[in-house]
Structure 1
Amino acid sequence: MTAGTPAAIKALVAQSRERSRRRGIDPERVDPPVDLQGVELSAHLAGHPMAAVLPVVEKILVAGVVDSGHLVAVADVDGRLLWLYGDRGVRTRAERMAFVPGALWSDDAVGANAPGLAIRHDVPVRVRGEEHFLAPAHSWSCSAAPVHDPLTGRVIGGIDVTGTDSAASAEMLALVRATALLAEAELRSTPTGGVRRLEALGTLRPTLAGLGPLTRRHAEILVLLSAYPQGLSGGALAELLAAGRLDEVSIRAEMSRLRRVLGPDVIGSRPYRLSPGVLETDAAHVAGLVDSDVAAAVAAYPGPLLPGSDAPGVVDLREELHARVRAAALAAGSAQALRNWVAGPGREDPDGWRVLGSLPGLSAAATSSARSVYRVLDDRLGA
């Protein structure tokens, strides 16, 4: 039998049901395991390669099928649901059988279902009603297709449509498979997974990889949205950009201009938020290093975040990051970290030179030089 044909899919479903019986899975269970929630789920989403295919999924599938009462799900290679799109009422119904982000819908965990079988057998699959092993899923039908890493060819996840009988039609299966192929093409065209890096530290000309320089306002917005991954309302964003001086109409106009620069799928609305996996900032990179590799964090920190910005939210982020890097450098007891600090943003920090000059193991010349600079800076500040 050819993989993906109705006969082949029927055989896969039958084999899955037999496996589930042997494994002792209760077909009446209504609580598939939800093994990732909260912060752990957020961290898994942020670092997952499937985040890079979300713009394609949203443009092709979500825009086309959600209004007809279907759900669109994106899963990882373990069959764990990562992102779920759909109307609130349909999602509420699905929650009753734990069809939610973080839940395991692998074939091993819950028996026959489209995303679980598609990922297990690396083939597009559709499952109708009572073909599902779990009784609570009998009122649902679904079509799913695997997504492959363009470099290794291995399955990295799956895309699924779940809903009424039409969710398991030949046309829906073809649409889901086409979306998966387009997602793989997107991954091939952006080897880094589509992630763009914003360089905003120590520069008056922030730049975005692949696009070049940005306006200060656009850089401010991206920095703030990166710092608030849960999203910001128009009013909250206005306050962070210019307390009491911007209204939501101005914010909408600015976001429209920014979308014309970045593309329509990078920033979502209500609230404004970055699509997962599309942007990283040099500031976030440094913040992630501070607690694990101080010397590397200081070396990667050329100076304050957007030093020309007076946006209140950016000022707070700038001061917080600068204070964290400085404190880590002074407390690390590492000559390399301190050298990086005083050679860069801490060149006029007397405490940095003082601590460096007191470290054991430095040459006499290095100790004398550090202490001399400390005295000059200390006298200057005391003058």
Structure 2
Amino acid sequence: MSDGTGHIMIVTDGDGRVLWRDGNHSTMRRADTVGLADGHQWAEHSVGTNGIGTALATGRPVHVYSEEHLMRVLHVWSCSAAPVTDPDSGLVVGCVDVSGTARSLHPATVALVAATAKLAETQLALRMHERDERLRRRYESLRGRPGILLSATGRVISGDPAGDLGERVHLGARAAHFTGRRMILRDGTVALLEPFSDGFLLRPSPSTAPPVLTLSFLGEGAPSATYGDHDRPLSLRHAEILTLLALHPHGLTAEQLSFHLYGDVGNPVTIRAEIHRLRTQLGQAIAAKPYRLTCPVEADFLALHRLLAAHDAASLARAYPGPLLPRSESPEIRRERDELEAQVRACLLRQGSPEDLWAYAQTCNGRDDYEVLERLAALPPTDPRSAVARSRLLS
């Protein structure tokens, strides 16, 4: 088809690198002059707006006509392209493109490449189901060995009838290199990840539950942590790192941690040194690449989020001794601290009882909060809290 119409068809990988092309010989010679040839890369970050790169970037079929190309040398070309998504991994693995001169390529060509990409995805899905079936038969032969069967990409194939794990388990880039790796699942249970044939098995951990990391970082006292049955002394910097890791359960790179802690002046080398010192105290509770907490975490500031979502003013007042790490200058922690303070105050003013407002008035920010003190000052004159509130308003 492409040879007779003066067009060329191109297939690329997920990075936009041309793997194959065919079509009109004259058009292919012209394509050679602009790099529409085997081995050349057409990702948007390399050549700007173009059919291949834009389809890969947006994840949907596109038609890029003539002057819509970023590079002037491509203004005589038009392209229709559609990405190919691997149903196994969920990643875009390639692109189908039809290119030709601006006068000869009709915009409706985008429907053709979209259908072609769907056919490719159908073939990939068929092969995926065949692999799943072979893996499932091997799994079913393991009588008496409970476990959850995963594909090589972490898709749940068998062993989770209730769907508690969802469609996929995040394994990480180096899962194949770990035998007996412990994982904490979405429901909080611990399982061992074991290679099995062309996939993995998640099996119940024979060991006891991992130690819980308990963080107490609210209020004006020194931040404290308990790991298992042992209290751990913490510097402010280590408390900041643990706060950020607790707020980002999927993990952070050294560069991301550095930016959250220091802003643009941060140095990832400093972060790596601090993480090394912190791991001497907490051991395997902190994993690397990316840095993340691998144990169950109970943090007072995370509990606040749950109470705020439940609009439980009474419990909120009891659970809030003051701001999150008040001495921290980390940009990310300052933002979290300010947001928590604002949400707690708003909830207590909207729904709190006098007892709740009085509890908030004992915190460092609540002592001089004019609106809170006005509410307390309106209590009956015989209530001692009213006298204290009036005294603070006059001071």
CA distance in 2 between partners of 1:244 and 1:165 (Å): 44
Taking the TM superposition and a 5 Å limit, the aligned residue runs for 1:73-112 are: 90-91=152-153, 99-100=155-156, 105-106=159-160
Aligned pair count? 225
Give the aligned partner of residue 291 of structure 1.
309
- Structure with bigger gyration radius: 2
Offset, 1:284: 0.9
Q: Which runs of 5+ in 2 are unaligned?
A: 1-86, 88-145, 164-179, 181-188
Alignment RMSD: 3.7
One-letter code aligned to 1:194: P
Give the aligned partner of residue 228 of structure 1.
248
Give the aligned partner of residue 213 of structure 2.
196
Aligned residues with identical type, % of pairs = 33
Offset, 1:160: 6.0
2:271 alignment partner, one of 236, 239, 251: 251
The 8 Å contact of residues 353 and 370 in structure 1, kept in 2 or not, is answered as no
1:160–1:266 Cα change, 3 Å: closer
1:238 alignment partner, one of 226, 249, 258: 258
1:79–1:296 Cα change, 3 Å: farther
CA distance in 1 between partners of 2:267 and 2:200 (Å): 43
- Higher fraction of helix: 1
Offset, 1:377: 3.9
CA distance in 2 between partners of 1:298 and 1:166 (Å): 49
Offset, 1:237: 0.9
Give the aligned partner of residue 197 of structure 2.
164
Q: Secondary structure at the match of 2:215?
A: strand
Give the aligned partner of residue 62 of structure 1.
none
One-letter code aligned to 2:303: H
Offset, 1:267: 1.7
CA distance in 2 between partners of 1:236 and 1:273 (Å): 12
Offset, 1:370: 5.0
The C-alpha deviation readout for 1:299-327, integer Å capped at 9, x for no partner, is 11111111121111111111111111111
Give the aligned partner of residue 122 of structure 2.
none
Offset, 1:352: 0.9
CA distance in 2 between partners of 1:324 and 1:225 (Å): 22
2:322 alignment partner, one of 303, 311, 324: 303
- Whether 1:262 and 2:282 are equivalent positions in the alignment is yes
Give the aligned partner of residue 318 of structure 1.
337
The 8 Å contact of residues 224 and 314 in structure 1, kept in 2 or not, is answered as yes
- Higher fraction of strand: 2
1:185–1:161 Cα change, 3 Å: closer
The C-alpha deviation readout for 1:71-127, integer Å capped at 9, x for no partner, is xxxxxxx9777xx7x9xxx32xx6xxxx33xx7634799xxxxxxxxxxxxxxxxxx
CA distance in 2 between partners of 1:298 and 1:286 (Å): 10
- Whether 1:281 and 2:335 are equivalent positions in the alignment is no
2:347 alignment partner, one of 324, 328, 350: 328
TM-score for the superposition, normalised by structure 1: 0.50
Q: Which runs of 4+ in 1 moved over 6 A?
A: 78-81, 165-168
Q: Secondary structure at the match of 1:198?
A: strand
TM-score for the superposition, normalised by structure 2: 0.49
Give the aligned partner of residue 7 of structure 1.
none
The 8 Å contact of residues 242 and 311 in structure 1, kept in 2 or not, is answered as yes
Q: Secondary structure at the match of 2:278?
A: helix
CA distance in 2 between partners of 1:335 and 1:108 (Å): 45
Higher relative contact order (CA 8 A, sep 6+): 1
